């Protein structure tokens, strides 16, 4: 695990409740491609269910991080792509199962018209810094 510094509210910037504005650290950079709610066989988990899809997305992120020798503690940035901002509470709930509030990464949330597979509601990509 790398030593990360989280700055939730830099001087002159309003504090954020659901993310840190700045996260910095020294180590090996890891980029995780956007993950969808697909199981190990490529089948959708939770058709029409944002909570089930969000849980699968975060499980896929966990597995990808592990493959790089990282954990959610090493994540410095998450980007959420959702087909409806109404899905964000489900995303935050799934995130909370993996990342405590005192270790929140920087984050961006973007509503998109569609994802690569039309039945997918949520996609999340991650960036991490792992100690050398």
Residue 31 burial by CB count (10 A; 0-12/13-18/19+): exposed, middle or buried?
Answer: exposed
CA 15 to chain centre: 20
pTM attached to this predicted model: 0.93
* Residue in the structure block whose two tokens are 């199962």: 97
| pLDDT tens by residue, the chain, 132 residues | 568 989 998 999 998 888 999 998 899 999 999 999 999 999 999 999 999 999 999 999 999 999 999 999 999 999 999 999 999 999 999 999 999 999 999 999 999 999 999 999 999 999 999 987
């Amino acid at each position: 695990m790398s030593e990360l510094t989280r700055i939730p509210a830099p001087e002159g910037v309003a504090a954020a409740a659901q993310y840190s504005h700045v996260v910095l650290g020294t180590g090996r950079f890891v980029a995780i491609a956007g993950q969808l709610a697909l199981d190990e066989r490529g089948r959708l988990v939770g058709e029409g269910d944002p909570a089930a899809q969000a849980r699968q997305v975060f499980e896929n992120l966990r597995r990808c991080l592990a493959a790089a020798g990282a954990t959610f503690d090493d994540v410095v940035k998450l980007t959420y792509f959702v087909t409806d901002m109404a899905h964000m509470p489900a995303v935050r709930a799934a995130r909370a199962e993996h990342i405590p509030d005192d270790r929140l990464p920087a984050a961006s949330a973007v509503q998109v018209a569609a994802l690569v597979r039309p039945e997918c509601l949520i996609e999340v990509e991650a960036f991490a810094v792992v100690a050398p």
